[in-house]
Structure 1
């Protein structure tokens, strides 16, 4: 029972921290499917289909794949092999997803929204479905498992085409540019993610694990997912709304439980002569208000120390223009310390 109460208090502190966070933006810019984005999506899709057609028909691109494979870059430049073994990790799905999810989780905490995490989950789901289906459907073998020199190695049960490392690098690092809050940050992050993903793809060619055409198709596959994300923004918004409504219902269900009875403490107010005065009547209890989705803008502050009205220090505004009272004693006729001033009669207004 004690453990459950401690867990409840910790959750209340987490929600209070989220609700009163000052860095939550007033307006979050959500990308839309503009005409420019539609043109880019169509051009990237045409490039994707052209690469697939060039490999299926065993065109010049397949011959280039074999020439690069016979060149064996890992033997030409062996001094960078150790570095590229670590660099290629930037395209592995597990480590990159953990790193980017940690950053987006921190942004969700600061901005009081789960949209960054939901966008990342949507992009990774699309990546697994589209790239995975293309790998299994085309069944191309990699350079290390090639059987016939000069062939496209399609339909032989492989899973190398398109490059998953390249597509994952494009999506995972490109999602940071997609969720950037300013146009300048979006441009810089887009360039950085493009260079990183292209470097990861060329590293796989250097290591001999992918054909060059695999890298080109993987880069196009990841870019298609990033360009198509605005079509899924309404679904992401509905999922976020559902999550917050679920949180509010959980709060309301937990609020209906009877709280532990607290021992009331009656404040004792001492007058100037040291006698105990009668305590002030307690303030009327407010009616409980069920939390709703529309009340998210209010700050649910954590419980803190509360002082009674009689314990607060009176504050007199500076520069008051209130006229002096007629019965106020002059400066030289102050009463001695410990003597209470007679009460003034109340006048109707």
Structure 2
């Protein structure tokens, strides 16, 4: 298949795309997650038991209790950083776009990251909570003090970035398996931030809820994703037509030496023989493929052939050589001459 044919298939939608509408199950999950999100925010604002638990976990200082795993968790927490994870997942989905000849996976990833930046970023800047390392008053909720850690960006990003792979899975089994892997990864990243002392426990809980809300809301944005995909595909076609030269027609492959041309159909042979007219008997005619055509003749068996017996001498005649059939002349008798 040529490259142009592959590009022409970019408008075709594979049959195994994720659902583009909100099912009843997703509605219940979205409503329950939103209620949890609001409850966490209300609990922190009211300085409830949730804030007390935050301070207890912070004063426990897990990074001092288990220092032997500190180096490993410093690298593990990268699975929640937006830059490295977005590049890795975008590379995988880009290869999938090239294989399926559509831009849907990359557009879904871009839409989810845009939604996460808008929603989580607005919540961070709006509530301005300080992190454990910058806390000023023990037992306080540390709200509206210019911070940006509520909800946890690492946790929410881990939920969305790895959850998109489960959302775009092509079979129910893969979707369930990737959902479990994404959930465990997001849980590990969130607990790692608590271990390192960079987030409160309530930050991690709100980060899980924020990321899950983005994933559950993706079907609402599927029509916009399809519209953007069709526009980008049409734009690419215009640019390809304007800037890329048209492919040259393929020339027929020359016939290899030693191989004859294909034999014409019997009808063509009849037409050629009629056009050439009747040929002389016994003379070879020329067929449509420019090869001499000899009329068929009977063949005899070796035993039926007349034996040929050579007669006479096989030596060629010569002017000075007498034939063997002529009588030889008598040799002259030499006698003595002279007297008696």
TM-score using structure 2 length: 0.73
Q: Deviations over 1:66-109 (max 9, x none)?
A: 00001110011111001000000000000000000000000000
Determine the structure 1 residue equivalent to 2:203: 214
Please give the residue correspondences for 1:326-337 in structure 2 after superposition, counting only pairs within 5 Å. Answer: none
What are the superposed Cα offsets for residues 295-331 of structure 1, whole Å, 9 maximum, x if unpaired?
xxxxxxx6575316988953899xx9x9x98x9xxxx
2:75 to 80, 86, 89: 86
Inter-CA distance 313–145: structure 2 relative to 1 (3 Å threshold): farther
Tell me, yes or no, if structure 1 residue 151 matches structure 2 residue 140.
yes
**Residue matched to 2:308:** none
Structure 2 CA distance, aligned partners of 1:138 and 1:25?
42
Residue of structure 2 equivalent to 1:62: 51
- Cα pair 1:18 1:110 within 8 Å, conserved: no
Q: State the aligned residue count.
A: 276
Alpha-carbon spacing, 1:130–1:313, altered in 2? closer, same or farther (3 Å): farther
Q: Is the 8 A contact 2:14 2:100 kept in 1?
A: no
Distance of 2:285 and 2:3 partners within structure 1 = 53
Match of 1:340 among 267, 271, 292: 292
SS at the partner of 1:63? helix
From 172, 175, 178, the counterpart of 1:189? 178
Question: 1:27 & 1:87 partners in 2: Cα distance?
Answer: 36
1:74/1:81 contact within 8 Å kept: yes
Provide closer, same or farther for how the CA distance between residues 78 and 30 of structure 1 changes in structure 2, counting only shifts above 3 A. same
Aligned to 1:250: 239
Unaligned stretches of 5+ residues in structure 2: 274-281, 295-340
- Provide the rounded CA distance (Å) in 1 between the counterparts of 2:154 and 2:14: 37
In structure 1, C-alpha distance between the alignment counterparts of 2:232 and 2:285, rounded to whole Å: 65
Q: Residue in 2 aligned with 1:8?
A: none
- Greater radius of gyration (CA): 2
Distance in 1, matches of 2:45 and 2:263, equals 84
Give the one of 102, 107, 124 matched to 1:118: 107
**Aligned match for 2:35, one of 46, 51, 57:** 46
- Checking the alignment, whether the CA contact within 8 Å between 1:138 and 1:155 is kept in structure 2 is yes
> Which among 295, 306, 316 is matched to residue 251 of structure 2?
306
SS across alignment from 2:148: coil
The offset of 1:247, in angstroms, is 1.6
CA separation of 1:303 and 1:197: change in aligned 2, threshold 3 A: farther
Indicate the RMSD between aligned Cα atoms, in angstroms: 3.2
Match of 2:292, SS?
coil
Superposed CA deviations along residues 19-44 of structure 1, whole A, max 9, x for unmatched, are 479xx874132322111101100000
Structure 1 residue 251: Cα displacement: 3.2
Mapped partners of 1:150, 1:70: distance in 2: 11
CA distance change for structure 1 residues 339 and 66 in 2, over 3 Å: closer, same or farther?
Answer: closer
Q: CA deviation at 1:249?
A: 2.1
Could you tell me the TM-score, scaled by structure 1's length? Answer: 0.71
Deviations 1:279-305 (A, max 9, x none): xxxxxxxxxxxxxxxxxxxxxxx6575
CA distance in 1, matches of 2:83, 2:209: 21
Number of the residue aligned with 1:5: none
1:240 aligns with 2:218: no
- 2:92: which partner in 1? 103
Which residue of 99, 123, 142 maps to 1:134? 123
**Are the equivalent residues in 1 in contact too, given 2:128–2:146 (CA < 8 A)?**
yes
Indicate the residue corresponding to 2:312 in structure 1. none
**2:6 and 2:101 in contact (8 A); partners too:** no
